[in-house]
Amino acid sequence: MIVAVFPGQGSQTSGFLAPWLELDGVRARLERYSEASGIDLIAAGTEWDAEQIRDTRVAQPLIVAASLVSWHALVDSGAPLSGGVAGHSVGEIAALVAAGVLTDDEGMRLVGIRGAAMAEAAGIVETGMSAVIGGDEQNVLTTLERFDLTAANHNGGGQIVAAGTLDALQALAAEPPASTRVIPLKVAGAFHTSFMEPAIAALADAAALIEPQDPALTLWTNHDGSVVTDGDEALRLLVGQVASPVRWDLNMASFADAGVTGIIELAPAGTLVGLAKRSLRGVPSVAVKTPDDVAAATELLTGASE
């Protein structure tokens, strides 16, 4: 089984959508996504600088749009898509679209609302996130608790993301757990923590207007790494996810248990493939960063089906 994975916030870079606009139909698709999300995605993905696309209101729709553009390019290549899907944080919206739980337009409307609601929640108290790389996991968690920080992302591969107030993150950087590196992340708030609870109501109201379908592909959830077979449950977990930890480590453990034989990360790719190389050693992977990478992803899918 090949798993297609969809990245989360922080994976975007200035100008990264430009190569995709060279494909037939992509400009029209992005115009439709822009209308649904309320963000000029073409300008954001080709002209805006790194600081502008760091804004949560922009970053989340931009990332999901790029993931869906690259996903459709993979589908249009004729590759056999009989495996499963999973998304990291906001990438779960793209995963639900790929699995058929949501339509493209529903996903883009939802991510526009999600980004705006989380940005508003992030503005209440100055917060942020830092990756803690290496060290003993229990010691890292104990240290985070000491500084009143939350382990917002359990990413596997020796990486835990701490989230909380900027003062607490600065204290962590000054006194990191033994044998670790603390790296501030380019995000605008303490996502997947109680600081995001104000965003849940807006997202729940938007989700209530959607009639989700049951997944047509195997769909893993960030909640606990399990497979979700019911569309209503998948949407419910997606809403609650904004204020609860991302358990990508459990996702990857479930991939291993399922006998996954390959990982394809959709645009803007690189982060999840990097984590997989450390946690799923020996499993082939492809990062679809530009249209030129679609051929390698297709080859991996075709080889798995033979």
Nearest to 99 by CA among 222, 255, 214: 214
**What does the DSSP assignment read for 88-118?**
STTHHHHHHHHTTSS-HHHHHHHHHHHHHHH
Nearest to 203 by CA among 231, 152, 242, 233: 242
89 is catalytic: yes
How far CA 225 is from CA of 191, 229, 268, in Å, comes to 19, 13, 22
Catalytic residue among 67, 89, 130, 285: 89
Beta bridge partners of 151: 162
- Exposed, middle or buried by CB within 10 Å (0-12, 13-18, 19+), for 299? middle
**Cβ contacts of 43 within 8 Å, gap of 6 or more:** none
CB atoms within 10 A of CB 51: 9
Tokens representing residue 77 in the block: 């290549």
Helices H, strands E: what count in the chain?
12, 9
Residues 108, 103: Cα–Cα separation, whole Å:
9
72 is catalytic: no
Residue holding tokens 């739980």? 101
Catalytic residue among 67, 192, 244, 279: 192
Cβ atoms 94, 64 nearer than 8 A: yes
Residues 303, 297: Cα–Cα separation, whole Å:
10
Residues with catalytic roles = 89, 192
